[in-house]
Structure 1
Amino acid sequence: MTTSPAARAHSFNAVAAQYAENRPSYPPALFDAIEELAGHPLTGARVADVGAGTGIATALLHARGADVVAIEPGGGMAAQFRRTLPDVPLVRGNGNALPLADHSLDFLTYAQAWHWTDQVRSVPEALRVLRLGGALALWWNTGAVDVPWIAEQSERIRIHFGIDRVVAENGNGLHTALADPTGRLDFAHRQVRWSRRVPIDTHLANIGSHSAFLVHDEESTNTFLADERTHLLTAFPDGTVEETYVVELVVALTP
């Protein structure tokens, strides 16, 4: 695909409601792992969730007891966030120039979002806003490709959309998460496996909310989704899909 990263990043704003309704959440074990790797709890911690989107991760951080502020650049996503989480602070901005004070945070989190930053700028910004011993936590829900139907679907998506990695914003390929040209971060890595059962329509709306689909020709995308429904009904004749994910988590502590 030749669409620019900026166009892909902004493509979510037009489908914010679809994104909020159909994208998967994250399991409690993920936040247990974040706390373990950080060496301190989320409860009572000052947290900024960057690229917060519609608030899927922000809501879970808030429920964990964190004092969390969301940072989101996109107008459509921010509007959906405010409808979903009206009591959680939201600031418009991005990870390349964080609208936050120096050394003010215990955690800086990016759920499905670090790869949209310019790490030459976002790494120094992370180190600026985190306190000594603070934690930068990056994570992505990735499809469990050891599950045959997921591997087959991933290959169909790769071929149809002509991309090297299926749904690049899902962080497939850990090198995406570890991109740090400054050499200043030392990441620890964990994987958290989980699954959810959803109707076929929800699954199709989920994958259709990824940028590879959103920036592609609409007719071609709709054709793919119609064909994919046929494949899914063969694999799941009762109409319920079991999506299996591996959350790729990396955490770095400020030196």
Structure 2
Amino acid sequence: MTTTAHARSFDRAAPEYAAYRPSYPPALFDAVEELAGRPLSGADVADIGAGTGLATTHLHARGARVLAVEPGAAMAKQFRLGLPGVPVVRGDGNHLPLASGSIDILTYAQSWHWTDRCESVPEALRVLRRGGALALWWNDSDSAVGWTADQDARLRRLFGAEGDEPDPTARFRGLPPELSFAERQITWSRSVPLETHLANLATYSDFLVLGGEATAAFLAEEREILTEVFPHGTVEERYVVSLALAIPTTP
């Protein structure tokens, strides 16, 4: 299955993505402002691969003049339902529908890995103003938590990736080498009903391309396992946000 197929698979589950995916902690946006050396309030921000608007919501609430860019028609439609006052345009990180030198902060919330860096890096540099910032982040389940590590192992077995141990710091090793990034990791948590946790898993791209029958079978087994771990029915999820921010130098 191609990366493009995985990336576009989210259109199949846009309402579920909006309802069940975890958002982001306020500390993440504090870190973006600190590393960028400016507040989000009043900044021209473009959120690339915005999806249903999980990150855009926070950027907008911070007072940014934010524009969302999203390739998927269904995801963009869901975005408009949740954020009717925020503009969203169709496009992706490889072909930004943005004017050159028009953006103060360019954000990729869990979407940079869907881009082709040979195209997305020049595009980012093109649209950023002098002194502008490129902010990339990912939200990963914290594998230091015992039950999460066990679930990660089951997921790797299901998708034939037993050798791929979860490591949030690995995100930083794949950053564009031509840019100098400052890095932060932010731990946070949320408490959700068991069914919400399982519904969130079902929005992962690997499950969306796997198919309904196999997904349902895996989730049924997970329900039994996690009912023993969380007999009260509330799952304590812990996440690690890996943030990398660069202020490109201009010649």
1:195 to 177, 181, 189: 189
- The answer for the alignment partner of 2:4 in structure 1 is 6
Gaps of at least 5 residues in structure 1 are: none
| Residue pair 2:133, 2:245 contacting (<8 A) in 1 also | yes
| Residue pair 1:196, 1:242 contacting (<8 A) in 2 also | yes
| Residue pair 1:185, 1:252 contacting (<8 A) in 2 also | yes
Give CA deviations for 1:18-61 in whole Å, capped at 9, x if unaligned.
00000000000000001111111101100000000000100110
State the one-letter code of the partner of 1:233: T
2:236 to 228, 242, 247: 242
Q: Pairwise mapping of residues 58-137 of structure 1 onto structure 2 (< 5 A)?
A: 58-137=56-135
SS for the counterpart of 1:162 is coil
| Residue pair 1:193, 1:245 contacting (<8 A) in 2 also | yes
Give the distance between the partners of 2:74 and 2:117, measured in 1 at CA: 24
Task: Please state if 1:226 is matched with 2:220.
Answer: yes
Show structure 1 runs of 4+ deviating over 2 A: 163-167, 171-181
Give the distance between the partners of 1:214 and 1:95, measured in 2 at CA: 22
SS for the counterpart of 1:251 is strand
SS for the counterpart of 2:179 is coil
Give the distance between the partners of 2:40 and 2:149, measured in 1 at CA: 34
Task: Please state if 1:217 is matched with 2:214.
Answer: no
Q: Return the offset for 1:219.
A: 1.6
Classify 1:92/1:164 alpha carbon distance in 2 versus 1 (closer, same or farther; 3 Å).
Answer: farther
Classify 1:165/1:117 alpha carbon distance in 2 versus 1 (closer, same or farther; 3 Å).
Answer: farther
Give the distance between the partners of 2:34 and 2:225, measured in 1 at CA: 40
Q: Return the offset for 1:174.
A: 4.0
State the one-letter code of the partner of 1:16: A
Q: Return the offset for 1:63.
A: 0.2
Query: How many residue pairs were aligned?
Result: 249
- The answer for the alignment partner of 2:245 in structure 1 is 251
SS for the counterpart of 1:87 is coil
Give the distance between the partners of 2:182 and 2:205, measured in 1 at CA: 28
- The answer for the alignment partner of 2:174 in structure 1 is 179
- The answer for the alignment partner of 1:149 in structure 2 is 147
Give the distance between the partners of 2:162 and 2:53, measured in 1 at CA: 28
| Residue pair 1:115, 1:176 contacting (<8 A) in 2 also | no
Q: Return the offset for 1:218.
A: 2.3
Give the distance between the partners of 1:67 and 1:32, measured in 2 at CA: 17
Give the distance between the partners of 2:248 and 2:163, measured in 1 at CA: 30
Identity of aligned residues (%): 58
SS for the counterpart of 1:141 is strand
Give the distance between the partners of 2:118 and 2:148, measured in 1 at CA: 34
Root mean square deviation of aligned Cα: 1.7
Q: Return the offset for 1:235.
A: 0.5
State the one-letter code of the partner of 2:69: I
Classify 1:33/1:11 alpha carbon distance in 2 versus 1 (closer, same or farther; 3 Å).
Answer: same
Q: Return the offset for 1:74.
A: 0.4
Compute the TM-score of the two structures, normalised by the length of structure 1: 0.94
Classify 1:151/1:62 alpha carbon distance in 2 versus 1 (closer, same or farther; 3 Å).
Answer: same
Give the distance between the partners of 2:65 and 2:118, measured in 1 at CA: 28
Classify 1:147/1:186 alpha carbon distance in 2 versus 1 (closer, same or farther; 3 Å).
Answer: same
State the one-letter code of the partner of 1:228: E
Q: Return the offset for 1:163.
A: 2.7
Gaps of at least 5 residues in structure 2 are: none
